[in-house]
Amino acid sequence: MRLDDGSYYFDCNATIPMKRKAVKAFLDGEKMAFANPSSPYFAGMKSKEVLESSRANILRKLRFEGELVFTSSATEANNLVILSAAKNEKIKKIIISKIEHPSVYELRQIVKSFGKEIIEIGVDKDGVVDLEQLENAISSQSFVSILTAHNETGVIQPVGEIARICERKMALFHTDAVQGFGKIELPFGETNPNAITISSHKIGGPKGVGALAFDKKIELIPMICGGGQEKGLRSSTESIPLIFSFSCAVDLIDTYRFSKLKEIRDEMEDNLSQKFGLTIYGKNSERLPNTSFFSIRGLDGREAQRILNENKIYVGTGSACHGAGKNLPKVLTEMGFSNEEYPIRVSISSLTKKRDIEKFTDIFCSLF
């Protein structure tokens, strides 16, 4: 997408700007419902009403039967559900994939400190979680957390099948759906996971708000204690402007329109492939339609990012959380790539025009 200052932004899996209607909803939320939703008078009741209708709206859009707790981010929601499982005496084993986002993956040590076994499931060369390994690892006292779509490769995981395996084995299943929600119809099929994490700023809502949807089988243990808001699961005064605006961004989700991004993403990959030796990660898998993660023979992605930046073109080199590191992103080594050049991630959104991506390809080809 083209920014107001003429620069081009192609790092939409990191975040996107708030949609205009979401900004309006933020301001409206503050205007119509500034009062504390816990206050017992009419103004407080109005805020409570907006809070609860936003909650119900997001649950409806998720097609999830259960409850939803608002958090400050998806990171917090992931921490809440995983650490609750770690503290739960009925759970003996926590199973994650080797390619989870750090907000899940980096909890391994804490999980172990609660005496739980932690098992990491690998992926194949196409970036898909190994279901056989998973099935063999699960027992009824397991809690499984596997992401819906990978933030770097964009590879969509077989979460519907995972949900069914977990149900059959009487294990609990949580999915971090941050990158899938709003981009694709969540591929759960008949069986919903027991808990789902989502984030507002990835879908054009404000930063600083996320949510965890969860069913009756999930027992949450609060990490933030105080006034007992969010049914005691997450104390602190709820931010109605953030939550109302998040709910508005959810209303604006249009996965059909988003699916069309595949055409311009594929065109870009084809055009770049004609000029460069391109390795596109996850190309043989089902991928998010907006994501391209590739290496170019003889070109270090970190250097490419720096030069593109000087030309006011912003791309990623992997997860924004890490920035570019010294080593290849973990997901690539897990997929069996070790001698590749440092990759580049181009991720677009419904605000990206065909001409933007054509401009990107032209400039890219002229620079390198």
Query: Catalytic positions, please?
Result: 321
Nearer to ligand PLP, 88 or 151 (CB): 151
Residues 130-159 that bind ligand PLP (CB under 6 A): 147, 151
Q: Which stretch binds ligand PLP (CB under 6 A): 68-76, 138-146, 240-248, 274-282?
A: 68-76
SS (H, E, C) 274-287: HHCCEEECCCCCCE
176 forms part of the interface with ligand PLP (CB under 6 A):
yes
CA distance 54 to 51: 5
Nearer to ligand PLP, 75 or 350 (CB): 75
Q: For residue 190, count CB atoms less than 10 angstroms from its CB and return exposed for 0-12, middle for 13-18, buried for 19 or more.
A: exposed
Q: List the x/- string, 27-66, binding to ligand PLP by CB under 6 A.
A: ----------------------------------------
- Please give the torsion angle defined by the CA atoms of residues 200, 233, 167 and 118, in that order, rounded to the nearest 10 degrees: 90
Rounded to the nearest whole angstrom, what is the least distance from the CB of residue 264 to ligand PLP in the complex?
Answer: 22
For position 174 contacting ligand PLP by CB under 6 A, the verdict is no
Q: Is 245 in the site for ligand PLP (CB under 6 A)?
A: no
Beta bridge partners of 8: 2, 313
131: which residues sit within 8 A by CB, 6+ positions away? Answer: 158, 161, 162, 165
Confirm or reject binding of residue 75 to ligand PLP (CB under 6 A): yes
Separation in Å, CA 69 to CA 60, 141, 204: 14, 24, 20
The stretch among 67-75, 263-271, 309-317, 347-355 that binds ligand PLP (CB under 6 A) is: 67-75
Read off the tokens for 46. 């109005």
Q: Which stretch binds ligand PLP (CB under 6 A): 54-62, 79-87, 176-184, 252-260?
A: 176-184
Sign of CA dihedral 287, 263, 336, 103: negative
Q: Of 162, 243, 230, 244, whose CA–CA distance to 195 is shortest?
A: 162
Tell me the pairing of strands 117-121 and 93-97: parallel
In this structure, the number of other CB atoms found within 10 A of the CB of residue 40 comes to 8
* Residue 103 binds to ligand PLP (criterion: CB under 6 A): yes
| Minimum separation from the CB atom of position 125 to ligand PLP (A) | 21
Contact flag: residue 74 with ligand PLP (CB under 6 A): yes
3-state secondary structure of 43: helix
Q: Which two tokens stand for residue 68?
A: 């939803």
Closest approach of Cβ 368 to ligand PLP, in Å? 27
Q: Which of 16, 48, 55, 73 binds ligand PLP (CB under 6 A)?
A: 73
Q: Which of residues 183-242 bind ligand PLP (CB under 6 A)?
A: 199, 210
Q: Among 101, 116, 174, 234, which residue sits at the site for ligand PLP (rule: CB under 6 A)?
A: 101
Q: Which residues are near ligand PLP by CB under 6 A?
A: 73-75, 101, 103, 147, 151, 176, 178-179, 199, 210
